[in-house]
Structure 1
Amino acid sequence: MRNHYQLLKRSTLGAALALCFAGGVQAQSNTAGTVSGRAASGDTITVTSSDTGFSRTISVGQDGGYRLSQLPPGKYTVTRKGSDGATNTRDVVVNVGTASNVDFVAPSAGDAAQLETVTVIGTGAINPIDVSSVESSTILTEEAIDRLPVGRDTTSVALLAPGTVRSDSFGNVASFGGSSAAENAYYINGFNVTNIRNGLAYNEVPFEGIAETQVKTGGYGAEFGRSLGGVVNVITKRGTNEWTFGGSAYYTPNSLRSSFRREDLGSDGRWGLVDAEHEQDELIYNVYGSGPILKDRLFLFALYQGNKTETDLYGTNFTNLRRGQFDKSNNDKGLVKIDWNITDSHVIELTAFRDREETTRDVFQLLEPWSKRLGAFQGTQSFVTGGDNYIAKWTGYFGDNFTLSALAGRGEYRNASITPNTDCPFVQDNRPGQPSRRGCAVAAAFSTEDAGDDRDAYRIDAEWVLGDHTLRFGLDREEINSIAKNESSGGISFTIDPVGDAPLPPGTIVPPGTTAIVTAREFSNGGEFSTKNQAYYLEDSWQISDTFLAYAGIRNESFENLNADGIVFAKKDDTWAPRLGFSWDVNGDSTTKVFGNAGRYYIPIMTNTNVRLSGAERDIQTYFVFDGTFSGGRFDTPVLGQQIARVVQSTGVAADPRSVVDDNLSPLFQDEYILGFQQQLTDKWSAGIRAIHRKMSSGMDDYCAYQAPHDWAAANGFSSTPDDEVDGEITSEADAIGEGTAHCFLMNPGQDLSANIDINGDGTLEKIKIPASALRLPTPTRTYNALEFFFERVWDGKWTMQGSYTWSKSIGNTEGYVKSDIAQPDAGLTQDFDFAELMENSYGYLPNDRRHALKIFGSYQIADEWRIGANLIVQSGRPLNCFGDFPEGRSKEKTLYTNSSFFCDGVAAPRGTRGRLDWTRNLGLQVAYEPKWAAGLWAKLDVFNVTDESTVTSVRERQSPRNRHLQPLTWQAPRSVRLSVGYDFSL
């Protein structure tokens, strides 16, 4: 029989330490938490929210266990009432996805010893020992974040978790566990807000409206899917029985910011960093109100956020395009949350939020590179991202053991630009000593104002407790409608290059004496598309004994993508994703835990694939000799000389959906294995270790080769003639097969290609099967191995410290859905696997291979009114490549790929063998003042990148004089200071 001290520790740790930085797979919800424990059979347990009056009561079963699930996050009082009328109470905090354990009797049979009342000592701790969890999860509450110097956005919070690193190439998004930054899922109040165009964006609520953020970095249960990386689950604030109001402002002035960086080519031929004259001011302000519309029943939380940002940029890009860019953002965002406790058995939640962002951009030519000397005004662009989102959820409690919830949501994500002078062709001159821009075009291409994605989603989740088994099951469905239309300004763009830098197709004959080439490109694509994803799942958490939990789950997912004509072009039903796990409470007192899990995870086909592969795309590039003269006038386009080459990639007609997707296509999926150990060191300290193995088991990308399929066809009975075309007409069956695959097929590289091709030119598609051996593509591979060491010291009103060290290795021949090393955001359609030669030497360390990462953060209450906080992130640099052209005669593909192979100066340059970027170190400090003489008033000063580190975070990895190999592209953000003040009061 356990002694009283052990039981007291179990209750204290379960209720106090396993609150904010834990994850629960044991029948946990993505919007709610659980209170569970043990009491005498026949006792009644009541949980009551101290904020809203919400209350639930159940009877303890014969086995002495009880469980109250689907509880909205917040503070609760747990009351036990015995058959003799005696009562005991506990105060706990319930967080999303966790089980707060409260025992009133000893777990062993026959022991009815009552526990003394315990005091919860904190509301935050990283990775505490939650013996009901088999997953890797971190929860950060608003209180924990407010004590730290971090950016006020979802990605900055996610980067505090072990195993996450910031993306180098795609803005403010993160990579989880070696996956690409496009493979995560984001939820708000249970609604999926991931931008499914390419996975590199998501909707956000105003940061001041977030109550807590759950970051799942691995091992998550069957309830979650459509992600290979991680899951970020945001829970918003809600109203309570007390009317509260307040406001805050966050100002990051340019005057307190260090200089921005730019690159400069020194006399020694090496790139160096110098100061740039860029400027940026940002002001964010919030006002909110919260309280009961009807006490104990109906509650309101409403918040308005304003944002004014001004950014002035003076510079050149890699083509020496001189440009002064002045951005002004005035964004109105908001959140409204209504909670209605119809009865204690039925609850409705309504959420509406806006994250629409509008930016205007004035563009000028510069008279000198990197100077503030402005030349001609080019025009004003406007950009719109984000949109309005609506979520409705009902939860019903039926008896002691069954709960049911239903959710419906609609989300908008606009991604549109409004561009003037769209009748003007874009003219770019890359010749040394020449003006880089001519004519009246503001941008090379533009999109329609209604471009973006709309998501309608529905889901039902149920939980049923049957003795030692907790069953959860549910289904969800979402439909995304996408609008995309992109066109070249003026219908055509002109790029002028010195003859040695022009990206000419292989075999092009340049007339003697030619000094420059004009590339004329006609490009447009788009249409309206839809994507349908659905899934159902079943999971069982079996408490085999008091100390051992076994978890088993299964998820079935289906994906369906439709082209611009509403015809299905990619569909996959019944992908089965099993999940298994265990948690062993070694000593039975929550002080030592061994856990593990194994699972399979799928990700859907992004709508970017709909647009690029099945849309009405026109892409024709024609090459002319240039003699140096221009038309003059408003357009000032180059006068074209002799045509020397022409490549037709697509003609503007939407392809038959059967002709762009392999008949036997399998979605991208990954298998994951985790084994971990956690130990409670003292009442306030704990530490642990996780070993993680992830392996991509099936890859998916497009194949765009002509030569290999043509050669296979010619050698296998299809008619063959010389490899040429007459007036654009195909002259042989082998040519037809080559051209049929060259327009790109979505397939599983490394496997046979089942293709439908019009072989005879009569409009009839015939199915052919080209063996994998003929295509010579390797099987996609990505393997991630890691050891994570983590520790925490819980906040006790005086100080807290948390941190982790991660050793990891990410190796393979593809990053995944996107390609960071060349900043290609075409999710699922990267240049990888387009033809076999591109994959030569492609195996090596991948872009998200950060071998070492150290994270330490915490805060200290130095006096009653003063507190300090710190956040340190140190990580090693990623590997570098040299992408060059193929050696002469190496590839016969008729493509426009330049500086894209793993060859450099004609010599093999295997992936990741050109060194690494330097280590990055980023220290943030915070000082907070909360005066006693003005309750509710607070002020903070946050300093980011205190030591003003200027490490280069990405470089140009393509080789050629024009692309400037190893030219620095991005750096650590310079030191900046954020001043903030706020006031909260109650009525």
Structure 2
Amino acid sequence: MQHVNPSSTAPRRRLALAVAFAIAAAGTGVAFAQSNATGSIFGSATPGDTIHIENTATGLRRDITVDASGRYRANSLPIGTYDVTLMHNGAAVDTHKGVQTQISQSTDVSFAATNADATTLGSVQVTANSLPSIDVSSVDSRTVLSADQLAKLPIARTSISSIALLAPGTTSAARGYGNALSFGGSSASENAYYINGFQVTNPLTGVSSRQLPYDAIDQEQVLIGGYGAEYGRSTGGVINVVTKRGSNEWKGDVQVLWSPEALAQEPRNVYLRNGTLYQRGNAYAQRDSENLQYSGSLGGALVKDKLFIFAAADWIRQTGNYTGPNSVSDDEKDTAKTKRWLGKIDWNITDNNILELTGIGDTETTDSSIFAYNYNTGRGDYLGHQYTKNYNGTQTNGTPGGETYIAHYTGYITDDLTINAMYGRAHSDHEQNVDGASGVACPSITDARVEFINNKQTGCTVGATSTLLPGSKDSTKGWSANIEYRIGDHDLRAGVDNYVLRATWGSIPVGGTSYTYNDVGDGSVIQQRLINLGLDPGLYNPADFPNGYYVESTALTTGTSARTNQRSQFVEDNWQITDRWHGYVGLRNEQFSNYNGVGEAYARARHQLDPRLGVSWDVYGDSSLKIYANAGRYHLGLPTSVAVRGAGPSTYPSQYFSFTGIDPATGIPTGLGQGAYSNTYYLNGANGTPPDAKTVSARDLHSYYQDEYILGFDKQLTDNWVVGAKAMYRRLRSLIDDTCDSAPLQAWGDRNGLSDEVAAGIARSTGCWLYNPGRANTFVVSPTAGQYIDVPLSAADIGEPKPKRSYYMLDLYAEHQFSDKWYGKIDYTYSRSYGNSEGQLDSNIVQADVSTTESWDFPQIMENTNGDLPNDHKHQLRVYGTYAPTEEWQFSTVSRVTSGAPVSCLGIRPLSAGGDPYGYGANYFWCNGEPSPRGSRGRTPWTYTMDVSAAWKPAFADHKLTFSADIFNLLGKQQVTQYFETGETSNGLANPNYKRARSFQDPRYVRLGARYDFTL
């Protein structure tokens, strides 16, 4: 779509009860899904002995009998630190202390064989800050960052995505999508986010997620490929967060963090390539910025060993100034306030039954006072005010915010049988208000005439040019459950989840419309509009435009309430084939149904089968070297936002006028002259009529999915070093987008004697249809209400190429666990992402329409699109670590070096190639009348980011008081991270904006902190 920017009676009874529960659940539609908020401990010992596992902080205890093969496993353990003791004939023989579990991973704690006379042996202790041994029971490699690491490393506390950047294969997405990430070359909308097992992905678009207080994070796990069948709805990556919980000891902290304006580097100005100042500062970094944060947490036992509480909160105030481009008449003074809180209750009902309740709040508001601004004279009069809540400008940037509530139950029915169940819900209201000082609603004015510097905004526009639909909101409700059963050498799991996503969303233009001034040029633009209106292009008369200009009035209005149902089922088997070989077989099945505002399904898919296979080899049998491989298929559903324009009643009228003057105060054209070209033309056929749900998408729509293959190894060199390598290959197999080309449908009607009927059906549609590019599709048109015609078209009939997106990666790392006073990790990634489609987004133009981009609207748009894709960064180097020379001092760094992204040139499709029959202007991969292949115009510069920190814990305060200083972007380099890629104007003239900076690295800033940790 065209863009707008687990031999007594009791255990048997419990087993029977669990089986009955599972059968009943299946019969009533209840399902099970893997708990992704817990970890496990496994290992080997003498058959018949007992393994006693105890979390001394919470009193949770489990006793597991070692099976006949000499193995044991304790699944679904809450994240925490455990003492693991080998019991022989009722006596403690050996203990491993401080064993840390990790999210969705297994920790190997094995014991030497005992004999009949054994009573006690010396205790073996594993210190709490040691890294776990290599997990040879998994067939992949994952990145997990603990609360201890997060507290030490200099990381921006803005979102959970800031943490994920430490994982290989992750890159920042285009800044227009907020703090979103690209995983493994995928677009920013293809990731899944979880907090305590509940999916918190943005329910509207899939871009970003709900947030929580930074110090409430216990562990964050980042998965980029290779994950098991319990995870889905992601063709990018998974961010999985588990929050802290209370313990028997009451502990808390208070903290203040301050980033003063005086120690902040000013953001770079934006210049055109000819040296003209385009903007003071830039769009993604405020001038005179200052940030003040207060945070605190408290946790402890309400009933020792039974009932615990934990709470955390952040209050953040950010101020700064923003000035628009050199022709924009406003200068903003922004005050942004973020309030985040978390409350958590953990109840060990018994050692075999655990209940967790979590509540999270995330509210972000921005108040902007807007003033007139002149680049010669500076700030002028007060113009108005803009207020937003849980909204940052478009449907694809920012976080959804709101409140989230999660309940999670774990039941250990027997040593071998475990069940998990989760229910969660989240809700957020979104607001945006724009108020002019004079009460006049000023429309958006853009001056695209080359003489006046392309894309100048003028007039009295205040803040946003379109405002959010009143009553906008979103919600997520979901539940999941799983059953885990260990039998012999097999760990079996089965489960289901069910989520319902709802969103009310849309926008209306401020002032009722917008105006764009353009050059008439050779008149081809006017002639094309006449053709689009079904009129004779000969009606064009140059004399109608004596000043050589025309003005376009456009007013895109959208708004609808939509719902998406997502369901999945999975089964998997982790099979310990031999002592050294571990196999994994999994199968996931997903379904989605998308509903429009009146509850009619306009797109649905079933039987999205994702096989997952993997194997790992414990080469020496001591968990010191693991070689692993896996292969899998991963599906992705349609976002709820498709209903806003693709299945909602939008209007997009466009009119062309001549004009004689421009009001100097408002920028509105005066003396409008009308001609045949002024007739209302509805772009994309959006005339306000909601489409018939049966006609929105092609029949039997194939799902969006990709295949992936991974081969790697992890090697423990000494007690302190682990090295590894991983190779990955991904290939997109099927894509869902929309086409707006009705010509193949009409041609089919002409061939089959249904010309008039098909034409009428096209006229009653939105003009665009969801479909599978590069495949045969059967479209549906409705000539009259209740009448439907199937239009089967081959891939050749449609004329679109097959979607292509391939990604390969080689990652090398070396990690030194904390010892000898330091911890460090170095990671180098070589990768390439190439093809003709980024996926659900189009970063070249930072398009906000997820899965309805303009890329596949017409075959001509896809010409010359094969090449390096926007998220391609071939080289990435990450270095992070901590050095603590004394108990009082600590120094840390997070440093990244990244090669640039490919640059393209978008322009006019020349008449010699067939021109621009669809009115898409300079949005083709053509420039200067020649093909301009994707990514062929160079690259953005390499970026070098070094963040450093120092912390002092004075002895006089018993090391409970910490003073810290963090410097972000120490080198102060503000390299360009994205260029403006439109090389021509809509009239084919050279665009002076081409290759001006669209975004830079963030400027250097300093964060000063004071923290006090206390025990009650």
Calculate the TM-score normalised by the size of structure 1.
Answer: 0.91
1:451 deviates by 1.2
- Does 2:306 match 1:306? no
Partner of 1:688: 724
Match of 1:907 in 2: 930
* Correspondence for 2:52 among 46, 52, 61: 46
| CA offsets 1:608-644 (integer angstroms, 9 cap, x no match) | 11111111111111111111144x8989564421242
1:697 aligns with 2:719: no
Worse-matched range after superposition: 91-100 or 235-244: 91-100
Match of 1:756 in 2: 780
Cα distance in 2 for partners of 1:675, 1:740 equals 51
Q: Distance in 1 between matches of 2:971 and 2:418?
A: 52
| Aligned-partner SS, 1:820 | coil
Q: What secondary structure is seen at the aligned counterpart in 1 of 2:168? A: coil
Return the alpha-carbon distance in structure 1 between the equivalents of residues 280 and 658 of structure 2. 37
Is 1:448 aligned to 2:469, yes or no? yes
Identical-pair percentage: 35
- Specify which of 606, 609, 612 is matched with residue 639 of structure 2: 606
List aligned pairs for 1:96-135, cutoff 5 A: 96-106=103-113, 117-121=123-127, 123=129, 125=131, 129-135=134-140
- Pick one of 417, 428, 443 that aligns with 2:445: 428
User: 1:926-941 counterparts in 2 under 5 A?
Assistant: 926-935=949-958, 936-941=960-965
Partner of 2:192: 185
Distance 1:748 1:28, change over 3 A: closer
Stretch of structure 1 that moved more, 803-812 or 702-711 = 702-711
- Asked if the contact 1:584–1:595 (Cα under 8 Å) also holds between the matched residues in 2, the reply is yes
Distance 2:309 2:161 in 1: 27
Q: 1:266 to 1:527 in 2, by over 3 A?
A: closer
Which residue pairs with 2:681 in the alignment?
Answer: 647
Selected match of 1:974 from 1003, 1009, 1012 = 1003
Deviation at 1:311, TM superposition (A): 1.8
Q: Partners of 1:718 and 1:324 in 2: how far apart?
A: 60
The within-5 A match list for 1:818-857 is 818-857=841-880
Are the equivalent residues in 1 in contact too, given 2:387–2:431 (CA < 8 A)?
no
Post-superposition Cα deviations, 1:234-283, rounded to whole Å, max 9, x if no partner, equal 11110000111220111111210111012223656899998998221111
Match of 1:363 among 362, 370, 376: 370
* 1:400-443: CA deviation from partner (whole Å, max 9, x where unpaired): 11111110000124443122359725041515669943356653
Tell me the alpha carbon deviations over residues 916-972 of structure 1, each in whole angstroms, 9 at most, x when there is no partner.
Answer: 111111011111111121021111111111111121000100123567111111111
Match of 1:199 among 200, 203, 206: 206
Q: 1:853 to 1:436 in 2, by over 3 A?
A: closer
- Displacement of 1:495 in angstroms is 2.4
- The Cα of 1:790 is off from its aligned counterpart by 1.1
Secondary structure at the aligned position of 1:640 is classed as coil
SS at match of 1:607: coil
Aligned with residue 410 of structure 1, among 404, 425, 442: 425
Task: Check conservation: 2:293, 2:316, Cα contact below 8 A.
Answer: yes
Distance between the aligned counterparts of 1:465 and 1:473, measured in 2? Answer: 12
Residue segments in structure 1 that go unaligned for 5+ positions in a row = 1-26, 721-731
Q: Distance in 1 between matches of 2:58 and 2:174?
A: 44
Partner of 2:1012: 983
**Displacement, 1:362?**
1.7
Shift of 1:116: 5.2
**Does residue 1:527 correspond to 2:560, yes or no?**
yes
In structure 1, how many angstroms separate the alpha carbons of the residues matched to 2:620 and 2:330?
66
Task: Quote the Cα distance in structure 1 between the aligned partners of 2:275 and 2:268.
Answer: 20
Letter in 2 for 1:437: T
Give matches, 1:271-310, under 5 Å.
278-310=287-319
Query: What CA distance in whole angstroms lies between the structure 1 residues aligned with 2:710 and 2:277?
Result: 44
For 1:535-574, what aligned pairs fall within 5 Å after superposition?
535-574=568-607
- Counterpart residue type for residue 211 of structure 1: D
Match of 2:710 in 1: 674
Residues 657 and 674 of structure 2 are in contact (CA less than 8 Å); yes or no, is this contact kept in structure 1? Answer: yes
Task: Let me know the Cα RMSD of the aligned residues.
Answer: 2.6
Partner SS for 1:373? strand
Per-residue CA shift, 1:494-526, capped at 9, x if unaligned? 223343499767255363324322211132111
1:331 to 338, 343, 353: 338
Partner of 2:956: helix, strand, or coil?
coil
Match of 1:6 in 2: none
Task: Give the partner amino acid of 2:404.
Answer: N
Between stretches 525-534 and 88-97, larger displacement belongs to 88-97
Instruction: Sort the Cα spacing of 1:50 and 1:907 in 2 relative to 1 into closer, same or farther, 3 A.
Output: same
Give the alignment partner of residue 882 of structure 1, picking from 905, 930, 938: 905
Instruction: Return 196-205 or 83-92, whichever deviates more.
Output: 83-92
Q: Secondary structure at the match of 2:268?
A: strand
Following superposition, the deviation at residue 778 of structure 1 comes to: 0.6
Q: Does 1:506 align with 2:506?
A: no
Higher mean Cα deviation, 235-244 or 633-642? 633-642
Residue by residue over 1:515-561, the C-alpha shift from the partner in whole angstroms, topping out at 9 and shown as x without a partner, is 32221113211121111000010000000111110000000100000
Q: Per-residue CA shift, 1:745-771, capped at 9, x if unaligned?
A: 000011123111134x57622111122
Q: Distance in 2 between matches of 1:855 and 1:440?
A: 43
Q: Which residue of 2 aligns with 1:783?
A: 806
- Which piece of structure 1 moves more, 789-798 or 507-516? 507-516
For 1:904 and 1:136, the matched residues in 2 are separated by: 44
The 1:253/1:268 distance shift into structure 2, 3 A limit, reads closer
1:85-164 alignment runs, 5 A limit: 85-91=91-97, 92-106=99-113, 117-121=123-127, 123=129, 125=131, 129-152=134-157, 153-164=159-170
TM-aligned CA distance change 1:83 to 1:534, over 3 Å:
same
CA gap of 1:63–1:856, structure 2 versus 1, over 3 A, is: same
1:957 aligns with 2:971: no
Letter of the 2:555 counterpart: E
Q: Which amino acid aligns with 1:697?
A: R
Correspondence list, 1:190-269, <5 A: 190-265=197-272
Distance in 2 of aligned mates of 1:778 and 1:572: 23
Give the Cα–Cα distance (whole angstroms) in 1 for the partners of residues 268 and 520 of structure 2.
Answer: 32
> CA shift at 1:124, angstroms?
5.9
- Give the AA of the match of 1:694: R
What are the ranges of 5 or more consecutive residues in structure 2 without an aligned counterpart? Answer: 1-32, 392-400, 531-539, 985-989
Kindly provide the CA deviation profile for residues 75-95 of structure 1, in whole angstroms up to 9, marking residues without a partner as x. 111112102735321111112
Q: 1:111 to 1:151 in 2, by over 3 A?
A: farther
Q: Cα gap change, 1:479/1:891 in structure 2, threshold over 3 Å: closer, same or farther?
A: farther
Distance 2:973 2:90 in 1: 67
Instruction: State the shift of 1:777 in Å.
Output: 0.2
Deviates more, 1:441-450 or 1:401-410: 441-450
Instruction: After TM superposition, give the deviation of residue 122 of structure 1 in Å.
Output: 5.5
In structure 2, C-alpha distance between the alignment counterparts of 1:416 and 1:427, rounded to whole Å: 20
SS in structure 2 of the partner of residue 218 of structure 1:
coil
1:786 Cα offset (Å): 0.9
Between 1:574-583 and 1:262-271, the stretch displaced more is 262-271
Measured in 1, the distance between the counterparts of 2:667 and 2:270 equals 32
Q: Tell me which residue corresponds to 1:896.
A: 919
Q: Distance in 2 between matches of 1:285 and 1:514?
A: 59
Q: Cα–Cα, structure 1 residues 797 and 93, in superposed 2: closer, same or farther, change >3 Å?
A: farther
1:394 paired residue number: 409
- Name whichever of 154-163 and 494-503 sits farther off: 494-503
Query: Aligned residues, how many?
Result: 942
Change (3 A) 1:959 1:763: farther
8 Å CA contact 2:51, 2:64 repeated in 1? yes
